[in-house]
Amino acid sequence: MSIQESKTELPENYEALRAAANRTSSWRDRLAAVEELGKFNTPSTIDVLTHRMNNDTVYRVQEAAYRKLRSFGEDVKQPARRKGELIRGANKTFVRIKKSLPREHSYEAFKEKLRNMRLDLYDAYEGDKGDEFDAWLKSTWEGLLRR
């Protein structure tokens, strides 16, 4: 089988890649799945890539899906980077977590509880903010209202 032929058939691990592409708790897994699925030009992989391009909370994943779809010759528009809350109700969740901790808790305690309680939310913002994530989260934590 030639390389060209293999690119028009589903990969053997398609179901695992599809599951990874939809894993809300890991933008890295979604990005890796998009990169791998982007090697296979099939209706099923195009469907998964289109969904990630249109619906992922992390812009890097959206952009990677867009690039793969364009490389297949798909007529798609580059996704716009979201502004504000990536996940609806995120700020309320941050406030609830802060209020659930002792009054004099540390930033590290807040960060750990957020990661444990809402890994999907933590992961989305980490993927979106990149190297600026820690500074952004600490600033957000400092600005949250207290009881």
- pLDDT score of 6 more than 70: no
- pLDDT score of 1 more than 50: no
* Residue 38 vs residues 25, 53, 67: alpha-carbon distances, Å: 21, 12, 9
CA distance linking residue 62 with residue 43, whole number of Å: 18
Q: What is the pLDDT of residue 146?
A: 57
pTM: 0.80
Which of 31-35, 69-73, 82-86, 93-97 shows the lowest per-residue confidence on average (mean pLDDT)? 82-86
Residue pLDDT, tens place only, 32-63 = 999 999 999 999 999 999 999 999 999 999 99
Q: What is the pLDDT of residue 83?
A: 82
